[in-house]
Amino acid sequence: MGLGNEQIVAYWVEHEIDLAVDWSEAHERCWRCGYKAGLAKCHIVPAALGGTDSADNLVLLCGRCHREAPSHQDPQYLWRWLRATCVSSHDTYWTLRGWEEFEVIFGRKPLECFKEAEIDHRALNAECRALAADEFARTVTHFGEGRLNPSTIACVIAEVEKKLADRHGIALP
Ligand SMILES: [Zn+2]
C-alpha cells in the first residue's frame, strides 16, 4: 500500500514551510488551489522519469491542479509552479480562473454592461449568486464529474449574464 495523505503532510511539514495552504488542512485541501477535494498523490518527479513513491517525491493536489502541474525530471519546476500559482484564499481560485477564461473567449470582461445601469448592486450580486447556483447545478449533472474546468465556468458566467440582461432589459455587446 502507498502512503496516506497524513504521512505525506507529516514529511513536508518538516521540510517545506511556505505554501499557502495551512498544514492543519493540507491532508484535505489542495496545496495549489486550496479547494477541499479528493486529492491525488502527485509525483514531483514523474514515475516514468525515475521518480519514487516516497513522501519526498509526492505532493497533494486536486484533479484539476494535478492535470496542470509540470511533469519534468527536474523537481525544481514543480515547486516553482506550486509556489507561483498557489492561493491562500480558499474556494475562489477556480471561479477566478473561469472569469479569466470568459475574457479570453468573449474578448471582454463579464457583467461590464451592468456597471452603468441603474441597478442596486448588492441586489444584483445576490441575483447573480442565485442564478449561478442554478446554472452550476445543471452543469454538474451534465458533466457528472462535479468539478468544472475554467472554460465551463466561463460558460456558466455567460449564461448568468444573459439571464440577468434579459431580466433588467440590458443589451449585451
Ligand atoms: Zn487544486
Could you state, in order of their start, the residue ranges of all structural domains in the chain? 5-85, 93-168
CA of 126 to the centre of ligand 1 (A): 27
CA of 130 to the centre of ligand 1 (A): 25
Distances from the Cα of 63 to the Cα of 8, 36, 37, 82, 133, angstroms: 17, 11, 8, 14, 22
* Segments of the chain assigned E as strands: 39-43, 58-62
Give pLDDT, residue 91.
77
**Percent helix / strand / coil, the chain, rounded to 5:** 55, 5, 40
Q: What is the CA radius of gyration of the chain?
A: 20
CA of 52 to the centre of ligand 1 (A): 22
CA of 168 to the centre of ligand 1 (A): 36
pLDDT in tens, 84-99: 999 887 778 888 999 9
pLDDT above 80: residue 65 = yes
Distances from the Cα of 50 to the Cα of 45, 61, 161, angstroms: 7, 20, 48
CA of 34 to the centre of ligand 1 (A): 6
The CATH code for residues 5-85 is 1.10.30
Between residues 125 and 7, the one the model is more confident about:
7
Mean per-residue pLDDT for 154-159?
92
Q: Which three cell numbers stand for residue 64?
A: 484539476
CA of 38 to the centre of ligand 1 (A): 10
Distance of CA 8 to the CA centre of its chain: 22
pLDDT in tens, 96-114: 999 999 999 999 999 988 8
pLDDT above 60: residue 165 = yes
Environment of ion ligand 1 (residues, CB < 5 A):
30, 32-33, 62, 65
CA of 172 to the centre of ligand 1 (A): 33
